[in-house]
Structure 1
Amino acid sequence: MTAPHEFATDYWPLAGVIPGQVVVIARWRTTPKGRDLVHAALPALAEASLAEPGCLGYQALTPTGTTGGDIVLIERYADRDAFEAHRASPHFQQIVLTDIAPHLHTRDVTVCMTT
């Protein structure tokens, strides 16, 4: 994995986490034909997600080179309501569920609430 793409900010999304916040770690494996499409959609997804009032951090880590590899998303939300608002947002519905999901071989998501 490389450092985050240029569209990710220079911070660690888990720095300063406090109880009650929601942390999401998603691991996506693209289909061979979908790799470029998924990578091209990541900047818009990150930008729109970071613009949400309850999004406290959003970072996409991508593999180096031209071969496959997992994409790892690390996200942090102020609380459960902010996370649910993210999942209901038009950009999540369009970019993740409509544009990206059909091009994923696997999509594993872990959601944790900090204590």
Structure 2
Amino acid sequence: MPYAVIAHYRCAARDAALIREALLTMREHTLREPGNLAYEVHAEDGAGQPAFILYEQYTDRAAFDAHAASEHFAEHILGTVRPRLTQRDVLFGEVLT
């Protein structure tokens, strides 16, 4: 069953460009993963501080787990994005068909 991730990230203004770049780089890598169906990066409109929304979809939970164990996830998300966030909320769920 398809598996989805919706992430909401907030950061300081000084980190917004770096995080944006890292998320767009992640999109390039993730779209090449065999189990990825979608990876969309959005800038939140009207947020008080810079904010991003991610929508990701994978063929199943195992494909997401492989994504989370990838080198590019470690480098760009764990190494660049997460340390600079002021808030991080993530929802996980199965896609109803």
After superposition, give the CA deviation of every residue in 1:47-101 in whole Å (9 maximum; x if it has no partner): 0011100000010011469x73320000000001100000000001110000111
Larger RCO of the pair (alpha carbons < 8 Å, separation 6+): 2
Residue 108 (structure 1) aligned to one of 81, 89, 94: 89
Structure 1: tracts of 5 or more residues without a match: 1-19
Aligned twin of 1:37? 18
Residue 94 (structure 1) aligned to one of 63, 75, 78: 75
1:1-115 equivalences under 5 Å are 20-63=1-44, 68-115=49-96
Q: Aligned partners of 1:71 and 1:48: how far apart in 2?
A: 18
Structure 2: tracts of 5 or more residues without a match: none
Task: State the TM-score, normalizing by the size of structure 1.
Answer: 0.76
In the TM superposition, structure 1's runs of 4+ consecutive aligned residues that sit over 6 Å from their partners are none
Aligned CA-pair RMSD? 1.6
Q: 1:69 to 1:33 in 2, by over 3 A?
A: closer
Q: Aligned partners of 1:60 and 1:33: how far apart in 2?
A: 19
Task: State the TM-score, normalizing by the size of structure 2.
Answer: 0.89
Q: Aligned partners of 1:54 and 1:102: how far apart in 2?
A: 27
Higher helix share: 2
Name the aligned partner's letter for residue 73 of structure 1: L
